[in-house]
């Protein structure tokens, strides 16, 4: 009865597993220190003053090496020519502060000491148990994969070990105990006899609970997986593992509650303890560079083949670790060689194996289960025998040998062509068929005119890089195809000729060419298939590129940032991983979040920044024309243009159309800023009144918890800076001839008397930050986390009229530095957008500003050389102002001073030798 209850619990858990957002450990970060800072690294400390403030702010409770026994491998390369991986500088950091994980990662990244900082992802196991009483054909899968024929050729060897990284094994099961690879160098006596750092690891190790007992605890998934590769054969009991004589090493990765807290670490343990095949029947949609480092370490440093399950969500997705490079990714089939109903599928799948209704070991007996979790260890056992058959082959050669000897199953899977790898595993052929090439697609690179942003009409050059791991190939031909309606391959064939064993070659000399078609949608995915053939050997790979992306990276001067089509600046999403941020001088990333805000009241704000739900931005702007480069540039060295409206703001929308331009220069004095300019047009029949427009910037400079914010009124500039030594500065300046405001926010609980963002950023708070002044923040102690909103307004935009607001985003190393750039930016803007010339030439407006504040200057545009008569009449028709000017140039500006005009609506006419233009102007009190 106890076993039955456990079984039913597992059914409830695992059948609900899906490819939702990746799970990760709270307040835990994986970091890899740059080689430059090796001398600062100890087993449980990184002693560098750059980290002291960050660690204090985050309240770091623990920082320790992930792999204490790891050593720097130097510059050695593997037999395949790949660089070896250094695990000795990888740490796990835990902290106690309330900082959200992405903010903590951002703070660590800002120190520039780390190759990467990323979450500690928690994978999930990938199987779905069935009722053990179901009547099915026992172990049909051994017949499908030709295991019996393979065992007549080679039954493996007890010195060949499969690492089963999972939830633990059953040391008492008669099918499993005898197959464990015992560590006779470290018997259970309380002493670490082999001095590997693990005392009494005779039967393997429990990394999840850090003890020497790898027996399953909360979840018995690992018991089932262990039997599929390693159950004893020829014992007249139960079942047979595909690996026959090969042994297995159990490495438990789950903690006491069953959470897979030590998944990637287990790969290192297995590789370090002699496993030449490592099985991973677990994974998630979260994948970072840490996981790739671990795979590469096992494959290249330790020559271990890593095998992983593709996942059970019946989706076309990348699943990790299976979708990393240099790993064998296994999808699942049923008894009829059809894709199993639950199995994921992808371009990254290498081959398939039976995973439906799979019979294997279970505590107290046996069990039928479904899952790619089952398919992977079947392949692992086959790989172990193949390594015995071909002892000189490297891990990647065995991977290719398994791939090139599969049986094609696409006749039963027409909907999944290219997504189930080369076919279904055939163990017999993997041991007996030799002489075939094993050519892998190592990489692909796409480029166009330098931006690598592929828009409609662009010609994209595609380079592919191939490496042959097995027999030499002759007369090799590559063909690139796509079935996408969004692109067309115009140069599709490349003749490579020969490719010898371990040779790497590419199409760099004559790349494939692809045209992006006019109908390509925003962020359209184009899937390519690369066919590789030499007449007797053929293999295909698929890969994707994204076209018409809705952002462009701007890298003209000392500022590198990302301009998007929906109002965000720096990043295109909420996770700070889709964009450049705001990087100064290639070394300091100063920004956490930035974007456009437009508002007219406490209930009417449209924006692209954080909202009331923590970690989720408002997405009020809808792209009408994705941001694109203007070629040739009209204003600066790199001009960008995009158009959007605020239709996605719902009841909060102002009903405005926004034309966004961005500009950058690299001339002396102009390298430390970029310009963003927004033209707000009112397409409605009602005036838009009390309108403010501004840029929200959450600056995180060096240590964000020690930032200060202030305002420079003479330059109309809000700025933030790090309060410690050698500070960086970041600023936003109003460039347009419009009023400037700056609201500085203390981004701490309570807000220090200002708006409080700790519980979200609501519409009323957003309008407050747009429309009022709060010049400073972070003034106490060493500062705090600060945010600024630099804005301009209020404006009244009449129906059909528009107003332009422009900002310079600046970085520097002192207040004088950014002030100097502010002055230069203003001069450059005035030259590029002189009022009455480019302002009106672009907007087709007759006068500026409109509305006009009483007593201010009014600028009038002329459209040809010659005499100009300018008249202003009130609504009764009475002329209240008249002047005569001589225009020497087309689009010349004329500064008028109609100071006596009171508040009201007036009619302005411009007469140039019979060319009569007129418009209304509103004068505000």
Active site residue 166: yes
Active site annotation includes 200: no
In this structure, the number of other CB atoms found within 10 A of the CB of residue 11 comes to 15
Question: Helix, strand, coil shares of the chain as percentages rounded to 5?
Answer: 20, 40, 45
Cα–Cα distance for residue pair 727/116, rounded to 1 Å: 23
Which helix (DSSP H) or strand (DSSP E) does residue 428 occupy?
Answer: helix 427-432
Q: Which H, E and C letters describe 722-748, residue by residue? A: ECCCCCCEEEEEECCCCCCEEEEEECC
Of 170, 186, 200, 221, the active-site residue reads 221
Give 524's strand partners: 547
Please compute, for residue 850, the number of CA atoms within 13 A of its CA located in the half-sphere on the CB side.
Answer: 28
Within 10 angstroms of residue 758's Cβ, the number of other Cβ atoms is 12
Local structure of residue 599 (DSSP, 8 states):
E
Q: Of all helices (H) and strands (E), which one includes residue 119?
A: strand 114-122
- Closest C-alpha among 335, 337, 343, 341 to residue 376: 343
Q: Which of 560, 582, 567 is nearest to 732 (CA)?
A: 582
Q: Which residue has the tokens 């390519």?
A: 528
Q: How far apart are CA 485 and CA 477, in angstroms?
A: 25
Question: Chain-centre distance of CA 896, in angstroms?
Answer: 53
Please tell me which residue in 86, 166, 272, 639 is annotated as part of the active site. 166
Contacts of 562 (CB under 8 A, 6+ apart): 551, 552, 553, 554, 569, 570, 571, 572, 579, 580, 581
Give the pairing type, strands 45-46 and 41-42: antiparallel
Phi, psi (rounded to 5 degrees) for 841 = -60, -40
Q: Which residues of 675-702 are buried (b: 16+ CB within 10 A; e: fewer)?
A: bbbbbbbbeeeeebeebbbbbbbbbbbb
State yes or no: is 620 an active-site residue: no
Q: Which of 373, 600, 606, 791 is catalytic?
A: 373
Assigned token pair, 511 = 């790349």
**Most distant CA atoms of the chain, gap in Å:** 112
What sign does the dihedral 639-641-646-648 (CA atoms) show? Answer: negative
Supply the residues annotated as catalytic.
166, 221, 373
């Amino acid at each position: 009865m106890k076993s039955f209850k456990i079984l039913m619990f597992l059914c409830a858990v695992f059948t609900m597993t899906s490819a939702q957002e990746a799970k990760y450990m709270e307040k835990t970060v994986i970091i890899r220190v740059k080689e430059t800072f090796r001398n600062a690294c100890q087993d449980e400390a990184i002693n560098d003053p750059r980290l002291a403030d960050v660690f204090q702010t985050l309240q770091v409770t623990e920082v320790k090496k992930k792999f204490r026994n790891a050593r720097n491998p130097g510059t050695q390369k593997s037999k395949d020519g790949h660089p070896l991986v250094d695990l000795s500088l990888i740490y796990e950091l835990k902290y106690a502060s309330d900082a959200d994980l992405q903010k903590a990662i951002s703070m660590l990244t800002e120190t520039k000491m780390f190759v990467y900082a990323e979450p500690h992802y928690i994978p999930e196991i990938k199987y779905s148990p069935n009722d053990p009483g179901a009547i099915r054909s026992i172990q049909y899968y051994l017949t499908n994969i030709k295991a019996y024929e393979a065992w007549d050729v080679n039954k493996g060897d007890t010195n060949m070990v499969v690492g089963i990284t999972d939830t633990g094994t059953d040391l008492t099961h008669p099918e499993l105990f005898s197959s464990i690879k015992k560590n006779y160098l470290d018997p259970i006596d309380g002493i670490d006899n082999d001095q590997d750092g693990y005392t009494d690891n005779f039967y393997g190790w429990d990394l999840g609970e850090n003890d020497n007992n790898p027996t399953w605890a909360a979840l018995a998934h690992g018991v089932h997986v262990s039997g599929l590769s390693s159950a004893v054969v020829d014992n007249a009991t139960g079942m047979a593992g595909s690996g026959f004589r090969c042994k297995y090493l159990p490495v438990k990765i789950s903690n006491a509650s069953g959470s897979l807290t030590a998944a990637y670490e287990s790969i290192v343990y297995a590789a370090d303890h002699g496993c030449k095949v490592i099985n991973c029947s677990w994974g998630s949609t979260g994948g970072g560079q840490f996981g790739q480092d671990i795979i590469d370490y096992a494959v290249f440093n330790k020559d271990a083949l890593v095998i992983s399950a593709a996942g059970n969500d019946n989706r076309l997705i990348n699943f990790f670790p299976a979708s990393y490079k240099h790993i064998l990714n296994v999808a699942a089939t049923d008894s009829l060689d059809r894709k199993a109903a639950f199995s994921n599928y992808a371009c990254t799948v290498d081959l398939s194996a039976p995973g439906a209704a799979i019979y294997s070991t279970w505590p107290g007996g046996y069990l039928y289960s479904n899952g790619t979790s089952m398919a992977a260890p079947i392949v692992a056992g086959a790989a172990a025998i193949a390594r015995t058959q071909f002892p000189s082959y490297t891990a990647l050669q065995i991977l290719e040998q398994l791939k090139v000897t599969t049986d094609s199953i696409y006749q039963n899977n027409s909907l999944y062509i290219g997504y189930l790898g080369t076919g279904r595993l055939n163990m017999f052929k993997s041991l007996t068929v030799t002489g075939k090439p094993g050519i892998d697609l190592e990489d692909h690179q796409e480029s166009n005119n330098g931006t690598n942003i592929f828009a409609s009409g662009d010609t994209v050059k595609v380079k592919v890089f191939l490496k042959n791991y097995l027999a030499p190939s002759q007369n090799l031909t590559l063909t690139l195809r796509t079935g996408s309606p969004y692109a067309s391959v115009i140069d599709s064939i490349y003749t490579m000729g020969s490719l010898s064993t371990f040779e790497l070659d590419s199409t760099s000399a004559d790349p494939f060419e692809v045209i992006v078609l006019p109908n390509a949608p925003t962020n359209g995915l184009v899937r390519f298939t690369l066919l590789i053939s030499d007449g007797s050997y053929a293999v295909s790979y698929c890969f994707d590129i994204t076209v018409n992306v809705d952002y462009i990276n701007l890298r003209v001067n000392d500022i590198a940032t990302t301009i998007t089509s929906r109002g965000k600046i720096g990043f295109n999403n909420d996770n700070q991983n889709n964009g450049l941020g705001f990087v100064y001088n290639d070394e300091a990333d100063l920004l956490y979040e930035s974007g456009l805000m437009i508002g007219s009241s406490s209930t009417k704000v449209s924006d692209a920044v954080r909202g009331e739900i923590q970690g989720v931005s408002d997405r009020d702007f809808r792209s009408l024309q994705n941001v694109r480069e203007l070629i040739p540039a009209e204003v600066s060295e790199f001009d960008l243009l995009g158009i959007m409206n605020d239709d996605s703001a719902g009841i909060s929308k102002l009903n405005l159309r926004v034309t966004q331009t961005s500009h950058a220069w690299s001339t002396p004095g102009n390298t430390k800023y970029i310009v963003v300019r927004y033209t707000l047009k009112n397409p409605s029949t009602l005036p838009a009144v009390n309108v403010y427009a501004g840029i929200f910037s959450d600056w995180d400079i060096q240590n964000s918890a020690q930032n200060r914010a202030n305002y420079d009124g003479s330059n109309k500039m809000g700025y933030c800076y790090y309060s410690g030594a050698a500070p960086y500065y970041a600023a936003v300046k109003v460039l347009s001839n419009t009023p400037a405001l700056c609201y500085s926010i203390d981004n701490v609980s309570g807000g220090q008397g200002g708006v409080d963002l700790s519980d979200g950023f609501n519409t009323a708070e957003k309008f407050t930050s747009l429309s009022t002044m709060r010049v400073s923040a972070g003034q106490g102690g060493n500062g705090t986390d600060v945010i600024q909103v630099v804005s301009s307004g209020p404006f009244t935009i009449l129906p059909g009229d528009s107003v332009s607001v422009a900002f310079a985003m600046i970085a520097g190393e002192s207040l004088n530095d950014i002030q100097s750039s502010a002055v230069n930016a203003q001069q450059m803007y005035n030259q590029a957008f002189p009022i009455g010339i480019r302002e009106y030439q672009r907007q087709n407006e007759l006068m500026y500003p409109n509305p006009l504040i009483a007593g201010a200057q009014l600028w009038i545009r002329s459209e040809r050389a010659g005499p100009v008569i300018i008249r202003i009449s009130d609504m009764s028709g009475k002329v209240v102002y008249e002047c005569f000017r001589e225009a020497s140039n087309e689009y010349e500006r004329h500064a008028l001073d109609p100071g006596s005009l009171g508040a009201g609506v007036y009619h302005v006419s411009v007469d140039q030798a019979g060319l009569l233009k007129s418009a209304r102007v509103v004068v505000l009190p």
